[in-house]
Amino acid sequence: MNDNLYELFRSRFPADPSRPFIETETGRVWSYGDLQDVSGHYARLLASLGVAKGDRVAVQVEKSPEAIFLYLACLRAGAVYLPLNTAYTRAEVEYFLGDAEPRVAVCRPDQETGFAELAARTGVAHVLSLGQDGEGSLPDRARDLDPDFATVPADADDLAAILYTSGTTGRSKGAMMSHRNLGSNALTLHRIWGWRPDDVLLHALPIFHTHGLFVATNCVLLNGTGMLFLPKFDLDRVFGLLDRASVMMGVPTFYTRLLTDPRLTPGACARMRLFISGSAPLLAETHRAFRERTGHAILERYGMTETGMNTSNPLDGERVPGTVGFPLPDVELRVVDEKTGAPLGPEEVGIIEVKGPNVFSGYWRMPEKTRQEFRDDGFFITGDVGKVDARGYVHIVGRAKDLVISGGFNVYPKEVETVVDAVEGVAESAVVGVPHPDFGEAVVAVVLAKPGAAGPTAEAVVAACKEQLANYKVPKSVVFVDELPRNAMGKVQKNLLRERYAGTFGG
Ligand code: AMP
């Protein structure tokens, strides 16, 4: 039996190879037949360059159908696909190449020279290029090769991909994902989200991250249907395609941006059956506003690079705003005391740990770090702080590293943010801890006002907090900003805020 993930996908491809797989914004369509041919060409080229089972192929390219074919070609060749965020600088890429030691690196055509230098320094044997419009030395060299390529057999535990963690805190680590990790999670999500034979996905996410690459694309591949593929999220383009799509997956900023547009109406969403959100917390208010405007309750789910998806609100049943739903059927989830590791009961806040076939195989070449993040009984310590409520819904309160300890008391930023967000005129807030001479750390609320609203005042924010929160949780400083710094997945970069406001109380 071949447990290669590509074989799982292939078993679900439509019988008719002319069925569409990807349609781009120009209206160009790539069929399932094209998928098999182009990924076959690429797999053959990789093999001819000596890429053998377990070899890494590092890829920093723009989003394109060919980039998806390259991912599939890597699976077919038994290689380990290693996508890199297009925003990474040369110095960052050098670290990844040195750390992962790929046999082949694929870059954007205009960066081939720079990559060749990096490759020479880091011992990468081959550099190829691939552009947004499918141009470059990879397609050029692959085009005339035989597309028939027998998928390299893989065991379920063999590596399929390495994804470097997004690094909102600390140095990026390479999360090793096996064929089993990716396949099991995709099958579970495909089932619980009730994919239908006529579903069409609107894909506007980046494809170097677990969300756009694995959650979105793998579900489509298992469904054997098509996706409308946008290079990035753009309101005009999304509204141009919404009436042809039935499923959309997005980060919370997609939804807040949709809400700013008068074109968001029930009519515009008439064909849609499911809006899914994840990768960062969706404000309960966004959930409610979206429902009011469109009639759709956004389905929020929670996962991370290392685990794929862990929880989801139900397809049938109440999708509770501000929660990430129930553990997936094959995922065990528990909340434990941060210090003792003892399991906690319902409503008690602690560290979330998970176990299941979705959980990664460890950090690339970091056995010590891997050991530290797993319990003896196999649970992975996510580092997310949360609770399970009396009805079994999981709530994420923040990251353990975001925890503020002020005067010896623990402050969970999410709790303060929820109060601040409810103040009249506040669009969103981010609460961080910064050094304070008396308290060790002090709570700072960074506030984004609603556009056009009469600005909320620091006094109003503090007053609301004083009314609802213990004194040590009340922000000692409230600052207003025009924008919160976010990474590519829409996550607020609290490390940047901590740096920016580090001097607020004189260090
Ligand atoms: P990444 O590895 O980049 O996917 O980031 C994973 C982290 O994003 C998780 O550990 C959570 O802290 C956060 N995250 C993902 N989904 C959600 C969600 N629905 N609500 C709150 N936080 C989330």
77 Cα–ligand 1 center, Å: 31
Question: Does the CB atom of residue 302 touch ligand 1 within 6 A?
Answer: yes
pLDDT at residue number 339: 83
279 Cα–ligand 1 center, Å: 4
Question: Does the CB atom of residue 172 touch ligand 1 within 6 A?
Answer: no
pLDDT at residue number 171: 67
Tally of CB atoms within 10 A around 22? 23
| Token pair listed for 421 | 């967000």
Length in residues, the chain: 507
In angstroms, what CA-CA distances link 503 with 157, 444, 495? Answer: 48, 11, 14
Per-residue pLDDT of the chain (507 residues; tens, 9 = 90+): 899 999 999 999 999 999 999 999 999 999 999 999 999 999 999 999 999 999 999 999 999 999 999 999 999 999 999 999 998 888 889 999 999 999 999 999 999 999 999 999 999 999 999 999 999 999 999 999 999 999 999 999 999 999 998 654 456 899 999 999 999 999 999 999 999 999 999 999 999 999 999 999 999 999 999 999 999 999 999 999 999 999 999 999 899 999 999 999 999 999 999 999 999 889 899 999 999 999 999 999 999 999 999 999 999 999 999 999 999 999 999 999 988 999 999 999 999 999 999 999 999 999 999 999 999 999 999 999 999 999 999 999 888 878 888 877 778 898 899 999 999 999 999 999 998 887 888 999 999 999 886 779 999 999 999 998 888 899 999 999 999 999 888 889 998 999 999 999 985
Three-state SS for 388?
strand
pLDDT at residue number 169: 47
pLDDT at residue number 89: 83
For a pocket test of ligand 1, which of 302, 328, 363 has the largest count of ligand atoms closer than 8 A to its C-beta? Answer: 302
Nearest CA to ligand 1 atom 5: 304
Q: H/E/C letters for each residue in 261-297? A: CCCCCCHHHCCCCEEEECCCCCCHHHHHHHHHHHCCC
309 Cα–ligand 1 center, Å: 9
304 Cα–ligand 1 center, Å: 5
Nearest CA to ligand 1 atom 7: 304
Question: Does the CB atom of residue 152 touch ligand 1 within 6 A?
Answer: no
pTM: 0.90
Three-state SS for 327?
strand
In ligand 1, which atom is closest to the CA atom of 168? 3
Helices (H), 344-487: 367-372, 413-421, 458-468
- Are the C-beta atoms of residues 162 and 364 closer than 8 Å to each other? yes
Question: Does the CB atom of residue 165 touch ligand 1 within 6 A?
Answer: yes
Half-sphere exposure of 502 (CA within 13 A, CB side): 7
Nearest CA to ligand 1 atom 20: 281
